[in-house]
């Protein structure tokens, strides 16, 4: 069974083809177009521009994926798309194209939760995890810890009560005068800085639960930047390194606490922030000492992509083949907590 997946929730247009007939679905090909260059001039994502660009890119990317797989549209058995959460206009592009393709081919379609795509993306790697595991979903829009006992069996352990970790990276980068996207720019600058120079807060680190908070850290970075005034440029790398260290420490210690609370010995890290080098190094080191296996998606699959949507759809269909329907009316869910997911 071939599943074509379309991702268009924000500023990346992704299309992928997955073979779902295997025990672990296999990625045949994928293509991704990032809108970063277009949005850089505005310092962030402009929703209307994002939607228009998805319209321009999604069909050429679909052709590219089919050609790379040596398949035709007629070979596709199911068309999957990101139903939410995300930018409403951007989501509508992917949903509209997917349902139009399904209707024209008379093939069933399925809407996929964006976070479930991230959650299951490590199954695309050469070292896929096994259930059950603790998952750290960490990106620009979400920071959550979940217990995952199987496909669709998700228990929320903790989440951010304000800003996501990726948002803290991006907003702190903007306070330091760095370009868009801020997270990678801040991490790159941090490589030349000393993380011990500035004592920044680790919000909720000792809260006794698994929730996160990063708004206070962002405020502390702003306060410190104002204190430095004209001297900021000379200390910018140190402040960037201190900011990254604070975020990484909170993510690390909360993840270890979740593993201890659940008694599980596998950790899955997914989402764009999961590509951060220092986070990976510290998680790998700490988990190795505890006999815990850590799994990540491949680096190029950490950000939004069509492969994770096709994979999530394929794994869902393996558990319940009737989820894909020849129903081509569609809606999208810009706000859709993973805890509310039901099929």
pLDDT tens digits for 149-189? 999 999 999 999 999 999 999 999 999 999 888 999 999 99
Q: Is 1 exposed, middle or buried (0-12, 13-18, 19+ CB in 10 A)?
A: middle
Confidence of residue 135 (pLDDT cuts 50, 70, 90): very high
- pLDDT at residue 6, as a whole number: 98
Instruction: Please tell me whether residues 141 and 54 are part of one structural domain.
Output: no
The answer to whether residue 331 scores a pLDDT higher than 70 is: yes
- Give the span between the Cα atoms of 91 and 52, in whole angstroms: 11
Would you state the pLDDT for residue 53?
A: 98
| Same structural domain, 226 and 282 | yes
CA angle 35, 41, 46 (to 5 degrees): 55
Q: Based on the domain organization, do 192 and 282 belong to the same domain?
A: yes
Q: Note whether 98 and 164 are same-domain residues.
A: no
Separation of first and last alpha carbons in the chain = 20
Q: What is the pTM of this model?
A: 0.94
Which sign does the torsion angle of CA 277, 255, 150, 308 carry?
Answer: negative
Residue 192, pLDDT > 80, answer yes
Domain with 136 in it: 129-296
Q: What is the pLDDT of residues 272-324, one digit of tens each?
A: 999 999 999 999 999 999 999 999 999 999 999 999 999 999 999 999 999 99
CATH of the domain at 215: 3.30.420.40
Same domain, 144 and 229: yes
Looking at the predicted structure, is the pLDDT value of residue 343 above 70? no
Cβ neighbors of 230 (< 8 A, separation 6 or more) are none
In sequence order, the 6+-apart residues with CB closer than 8 A to the CB of 56 are none
Query: Same structural domain for residues 206 and 291?
Result: yes
Confidence of residue 71 (pLDDT cuts 50, 70, 90): very high
Alpha-carbon distance of 175 to 121, in angstroms, equals: 32
Tell me, yes or no, whether 234 and 329 share the same domain.
no
Residues 264, 155: one domain?
Answer: yes
Instruction: State pLDDT tens for residues 212-261.
Output: 999 999 999 999 999 999 999 999 999 999 999 999 999 999 999 999 99
Q: Are 141 and 285 in the same domain?
A: yes
Number of separate domains in the chain = 2
Mean of the per-residue pLDDT values for the chain?
96
Any idea which residue has 């006794």 for tokens? 208
pLDDT of residue 23: 85
* Joined tokens for residue 343: 């099929």
Q: Are residue 335 and residue 282 in the same domain, yes or no?
A: no
Residues for the chain: how many in total?
343
* Whether residue 238 sits in one domain with residue 101: no
Shared domain for 317 and 291, answered yes or no, is no
Q: Is the peptide bond before 85 cis (omega within 30 degrees of 0)?
A: yes
């Amino acid at each position: 069974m071939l599943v074509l997946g379309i991702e268009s929730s924000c500023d990346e247009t992704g299309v992928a083809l997955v073979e779902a007939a295997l025990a672990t679905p296999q990625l045949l090909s994928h293509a991704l177009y990032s809108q970063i260059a277009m949005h850089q001039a505005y310092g962030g994502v402009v929703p209307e521009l994002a939607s228009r660009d998805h319209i321009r890119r999604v069909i050429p990317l679909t052709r590219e994926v089919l050609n790379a797989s040596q398949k035709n549209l007629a070979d596709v058995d199911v068309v999957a798309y990101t139903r939410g959460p995300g930018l409403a206009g951007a989501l509508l592009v992917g949903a509209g194209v997917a349902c139009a393709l399904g209707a024209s081919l008379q093939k069933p379609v399925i809407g996929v939760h964006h976070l479930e795509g991230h959650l299951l993306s490590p199954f695309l790697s050469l070292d896929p995890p096994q259930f059950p595991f603790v998952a750290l979903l960490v990106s620009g829009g979400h920071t959550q810890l979940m217990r995952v006992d199987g496909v669709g069996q998700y228990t929320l352990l903790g989440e951010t009560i304000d800003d996501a970790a990726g948002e803290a990276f991006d907003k702190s980068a903007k306070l330091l005068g760095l370009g868009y996207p801020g997270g990678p720019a801040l991490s790159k600058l941090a490589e030349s800085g000393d993380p011990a120079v500035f004592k920044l807060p680790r919000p909720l680190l000792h809260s006794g639960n698994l929730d996160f908070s990063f708004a206070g850290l962002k405020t502390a970075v702003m306060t410190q930047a104002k204190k430095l005034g004209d001297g900021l440029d000379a200390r910018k790398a140190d402040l960037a390194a201190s900011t990254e260290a604070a975020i990484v420490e909170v993510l690390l210690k909360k993840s270890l606490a979740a593993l201890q609370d659940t008694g599980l010995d596998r950790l899955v890290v997914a989402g764009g922030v999961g590509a951060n080098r220092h986070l990976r190094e510290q998680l790998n080191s700490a988990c190795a000492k505890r006999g815990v296996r850590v799994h990540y998606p491949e680096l190029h699959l950490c950000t939004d992509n069509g492969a994770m949507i096709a994979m999530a759809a394929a794994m869902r269909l393996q558990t319940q083949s009737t989820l894909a329907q020849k129903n081509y009316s569609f809606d999208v869910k810009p706000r859709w907590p993973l805890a509310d997911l039901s099929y």
